């Protein structure tokens, strides 16, 4: 039966119905944290760190596929599987760490949306942050899942469109850019930024989110139906991750073309916007702000969806947007973010801090995922084979080591 499934052509209409879960994940790794690291990388090192995005996207393809496969094979999210198959003390520890990581992610998303609104309308940062938070909560609690999915795909389209136009406006050196995309170059001066860029691509909440939103395609429970669903998932994940690769690469290319080759250093998102206008024109500055608003709002929505899933999953409660627990989870996880923004106006510092928190937590998401996907008891015939398991293990070791280095470099101030 599996051979038949593998050889069967995929109907375009059915494929289009499936596309979506991967895009919810993709908006998470083009969030304001990525903007900060990509702008920094492009403005300081030109096109030489583009390969980090290529390498990170390849790693992400496998990790996110495994998370989605776990959801398809078990019918349960990563959070629920951890609760059911790990000892209670381990489950409690993992649950607390991932909630903290989700809150840290929310900080970056709200800041990004707030900066975008501030750049567009000249309002104070705190006002933009409040608007972003209000939109996040409203859209999550008032919309059905598939409508939410459509909104996020639309947001991604706007972000991609803005950056494609910016690429045309800044006229980059495509030969150098193509070389940077595929030829690794790294030295002592650039390793800190390279690690930050990589750490911003593989994010804990996205792994939990993908294992959950894949359930929206509940087309059956038989082995054959799961295998068929997995085929569509691979296409969805690949297409969505490649879109994320294009957008992240475009950020670096624009930053390099405008700032690096004009010898104009920048140290923050606001400064990048202010410098972009005179160097690349007012349209480029406008598109930058519009894309940042959609990035901040879109990624804050998916971050909060992940938070609600994590909290309900680890507590063993149903994930029902109408339930008090779900609504409370969405509100509670936004509150610390608002306090941090209100009491610390150094947005760059907050963004870096949020990435450090994600770096510290990431091993505690990757390791349970590997253990569960390798278990025949959990996955049945969908258990990770030797090739997938060893590749994912190698990726996890690389990500963990680089994130440890990033954390060390951050707390010691070495960059």
Q: Which of 178-192, 251-265, 339-353, 393-407 has the highest mean pLDDT?
A: 251-265
Residue 145 has pLDDT above 70, yes or no: no
- So what's the pLDDT on residue 5? 42
- Domain assignment present for residue 324? The answer is no
The reply to whether 330 falls in a domain is no
**Average pLDDT of 47-58?**
94
Tokens 């080759």: give the residue: 261
More confident residue, 224 or 308: 308
The pTM for the full model equals: 0.88
Locate 386 and state its tokens.
């030797």
Residue 150 maps to a domain: no
What mean pLDDT comes out for the span 251-263?
Answer: 92
**Domain annotation covers residue 323:** no
- Is 119 part of a structural domain of the chain? no
Structure tokens at 124: 């104070």
If you average pLDDT over residues 144-168, what whole number do you get?
Answer: 85
User: Is residue 310, in this structure, part of any structural domain at all?
Assistant: no
Distance CA 236, CA 197 (A): 24
Q: Are 74 and 379 in contact (CB under 8 A)?
A: yes
Cα(182)–Cα(177) distance, rounded to whole angstroms? Answer: 9
CA gap 257, 254 in Å, rounded: 5
How many C-beta atoms lie closer than 10 Å to residue 7's C-beta?
7
Residue 288 belongs to some domain of the structure: no
φ, ψ at 271 (rounded to 5°): -65, -35
44/193: higher pLDDT: 44
pLDDT exceeds 50 at position 399: yes
- 300, two tokens: 């804050």
Classify the C-alpha dihedral 171-172-173-177 as positive or negative: negative
What does the alpha-carbon distance between residue 233 and residue 231 come to, in Å, rounded to a whole number?
A: 5
Domains identified in the chain, total number: 1
Please give the share of the chain, as a percent, with pLDDT higher than 70: 90
Residue 152 lies in a domain: no
Please give the pLDDT value at position 2: 41
The lowest-confidence range among 38-42, 219-223, 332-336 is 219-223
Q: Rounded distance, CA 302 to CA 309, Å?
A: 11
198-214 pLDDT, tens digit per residue, is 877 888 999 999 999 88
> Which of 235-239, 252-256, 277-281, 407-411 has the least mean pLDDT?
407-411
| Better pLDDT: 145 or 316 | 316
Each residue's pLDDT tens digit, 73-90: 998 999 999 999 999 999
**pLDDT the model gives residue 410:** 62
Q: Could you give the CA distance from residue 45 to residue 49 in angstroms, rounded to a whole number?
A: 7
Tell me, what's the pLDDT at 173? 93
256, two tokens: 């390099």
Which domain, by its residues, includes 7? 2-108+171-280+342-412
């Amino acid at each position: 039966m599996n051979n038949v499934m593998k050889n069967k052509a995929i109907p375009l209409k059915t494929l289009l119905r499936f596309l979506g879960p991967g895009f919810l994940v993709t908006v998470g790794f083009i969030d304001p944290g990525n903007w900060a690291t990509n702008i920094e990388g492009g403005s300081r090192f030109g096109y030489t760190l583009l390969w980090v995005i290529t390498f990170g996207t390849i790693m992400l393809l496998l990790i996110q596929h495994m998370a989605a496969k776990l959801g398809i094979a078990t019918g349960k999210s990563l959070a629920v599987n951890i609760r059911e198959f790990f000892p209670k003390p381990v489950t409690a520890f993992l649950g607390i760490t991932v909630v903290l990581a989700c809150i840290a992610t929310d900080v970056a998303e709200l800041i990004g949306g707030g900066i975008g609104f501030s750049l567009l309308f000249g309002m104070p940062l705190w006002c933009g942050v409040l608007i972003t938070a209000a939109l996040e909560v409203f859209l999550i609690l008032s919309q059905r899942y598939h409508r939410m999915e459509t909104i996020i795909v639309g947001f991604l389209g706007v972000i991609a469109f803005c950056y494609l136009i910016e690429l045309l406006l800044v006229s980059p050196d495509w030969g150098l850019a193509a070389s940077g995309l595929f030829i690794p170059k790294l030295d002592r001066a650039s390793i800190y930024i390279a690690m930050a860029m990589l750490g911003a691509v593989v994010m804990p909440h996205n792994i939990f989110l993908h294992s959950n939103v894949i359930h929206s395609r509940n087309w059956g429970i038989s082995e054959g139906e799961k295998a068929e669903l997995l085929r569509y998932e691979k296409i969805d994940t690949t297409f969505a991750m490649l879109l994320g690769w294009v957008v992240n690469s475009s950020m670096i290319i624009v930053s390099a073309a405008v700032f690096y080759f004009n010898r104009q250093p920048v140290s923050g998102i606001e400064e990048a916007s202010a410098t972009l206008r005179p160097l690349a024109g007012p349209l480029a500055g406008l598109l930058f702000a519009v894309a940042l608003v959609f990035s901040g709002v879109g990624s804050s929505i998916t971050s909060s969806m992940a938070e609600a899933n994590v909290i309900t999953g680890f507590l063993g409660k149903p994930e029902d947007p109408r339930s008090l627990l779900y609504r409370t989870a969405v509100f509670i996880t936004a509150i610390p973010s608002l306090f941090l923004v209100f009491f610390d106006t150094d947005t760059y510092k907050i963004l870096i801090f949020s990435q450090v928190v994600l770096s510290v937590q990431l091993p505690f998401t990757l390791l349970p995922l590997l253990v569960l996907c390798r278990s025949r008891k959990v996955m049945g015939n969908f258990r990770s084979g030797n090739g997938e398991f060893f590749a994912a293990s190698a990726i996890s070791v690389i990500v963990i080591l680089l994130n440890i280095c990033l954390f060390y470099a951050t707390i010691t101030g070495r960059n």
